[in-house]
Every structure is written in C-alpha cells, then in structure tokens.
Structure 1
C-alpha cells in the first residue's frame, strides 16, 4: 500500500508496522469476499435443474451474508489506521479466488466450486487471525472468528446440498 494521506491517519495505539501486516491480510480477505460474492451471485442467477429453487435461494442467502461482511472488514482496516480497497482493479490484483466466466456450469459443479472457495476464504481468515494475534490486535482477532464460522457454515451447507440421496 502507498503512504497514507495525513487526513486518513486514524489514531491507534497499535504499532504501525504490526498492523500493516494485519491490514494487508484483511485486504486480501476482502478482495476474496468480493470475488466470492460475485461468483455466488453469478451462480445464483444461472443455476438450473431439478433443485433450482432450493439452490437459487441458498446461493442468494449466502451472497447476502458474504456481502454483509465486506463493510466490517474494510472498516476494520480503517480502524487500524490503514487504507482499504478502492476499485475493481484493486480487487482483481489481490483476489486469490478465481472467477468463473463459463457460459454454463452444472449445479453440482457450482456447489462444489463455491464450497472450495469458502474453504479458501477460511484459510485467508486464518492468516488474518495469525497476523492480528502477532500484532496484539484483539479486536480483529476476535471478529475474524465470526467471519470464519460463517464461511465454514456456508461450506458445510454447500456440501450437504450437493450430497447424493
């Protein structure tokens, strides 16, 4: 990240060098949240097949939950005295979750891909947790546990929804 404009230097008792690693990890997770949100909405819009209604509603609920965490992540970055994502380009440079632009994806593949992506997000949140603990950033360390739990729950629901009877 570039130097922070004086107007954006939020006061904090956390050490600048320590929380920079926390902010970098948070911004990476934030980029992945946006990538996962768009992929989940894409699949929500394009799902088809015998379980259409169930999958359509499940994916919409999950997309809403993912989008809901983005503001909390970005605000946490700002509370630590750092800056957060600014554009789609910034997201694309930082995301580790891959896009899926295929014209058609079978529903079973959608669920499987989203399950794996949510588990990748869990890994990203664990990086945030480790950085926060190292920086003695108790607030980030505590709140990331909730985000991790939500991503694990989404992965679990996707797993269960994709099981064969």
Structure 2
C-alpha cells in the first residue's frame, strides 16, 4: 500500500454502526471519554498511594489499595470499548487524560496513610457522582447497554468508598 493510500485510510472517519442518534452517540462517547480520564487518574492515584504506603497498617492498606487499583483498572477497557462500540473515539494520550480529568492528582512527597485513604474515599465518592451523571445521560438517550455497565461501576465505587470509610473511622 502506498504512503498516500495509507494516509487516506487513517484520515477516513470512523463509521461504526449504531442505532443511537448521531448526537446521542457523540454525547455519550464524550461523557465516556471524560469518565475514562477520571478512572485512569483514580487508578494511578490509588497505585501511587499503594506504592508509597507506610506505617503500622502497611500490609492491610497496601493490599487494600492493590485490590482497589485492580478493580478500577479493570473498568478502563470496558469504558473505552463502549465509546468505540457506539461510534465514538476515546483517549489517545496521557495529555488527553490531563485535559479531561476532574479528579485531582496528588504529587506530594509524603502523605499520611490516613490522608491517603481519606482522599481516595472522597475521590471515589466524586467518581460515583460522575457515574450517576453519565448514567442519567445514557438513560435519557436509550443507551441501555452503557447504562447497565455504569450501574455495576457505581456499585463497585460505592464498595470502595465503604471500605475506605471504615478503614479511616476512629474507634468510639
């Protein structure tokens, strides 16, 4: 194949078939892409805290964050592929993630274990809010498959919030 032919193929628009309207497909794919940026941000932050955990509860917290990081990462492919299935595109780079993320990074040299868990609890709560907003959109446009996936991700995020809340609760 010539270089010119290859270039023409790369520039051809994606025409993935879907029964969603063009506007619905565009809106849902954009919402999923922004969601994916947040999920990747939360994944990396969870792994950051996992790698930098210290203190008397090191083993328990280290393992908790490892499990939670795996769960978060497992959602990434389904989110990206769902955007593609409905005719959209998705993330292309770390820079793209940085432009879209709503969950904040934490680049501090040292964070206490309690602050790590509290921050991740709040970030997961923020993710639940974002997921509910995307759920509302997908419900409104009749994208039942995406709506169903989001319901599972909400449950997983609420489960993480619960564990992080319990791990940071002070004894009474």
Q: Common fold, TM-score beyond 0.5?
A: yes
* Residue 11 of structure 1 pairs with residue 45 of structure 2: no
Aligned residues: 162
Distance in 1, Cα, partners of 2:51 & 2:75? 21
Deviating 4+ runs (over 4 angstroms): none
Match of 1:110 in 2: 116
Cα gap change, 1:138 to 1:6, in 2 (>3 Å): farther
Match of 2:156 in 1: 150
**Preserved contact between residue 14 and residue 137 of structure 1 (Cα < 8 Å):** yes
* TM-score normalised to structure 2 length: 0.91
Q: Secondary structure at the match of 2:92?
A: coil
> Which blocks of at least 5 consecutive residues in structure 1 are unaligned?
none
Deviation at 1:106, TM superposition (A): 0.2
Distance in 1, Cα, partners of 2:152 & 2:12? 32
Structure of larger gyration radius: 2
Query: Root-mean-square deviation (CA), in Å?
Result: 1.2
Distance in 1, Cα, partners of 2:120 & 2:64? 12
* Residue 50 of structure 1 pairs with residue 62 of structure 2: no
Q: Secondary structure at the match of 1:41?
A: helix
RCO higher in structure (CA 8 A, sep ≥6): 1
Match of 1:97 in 2: 103
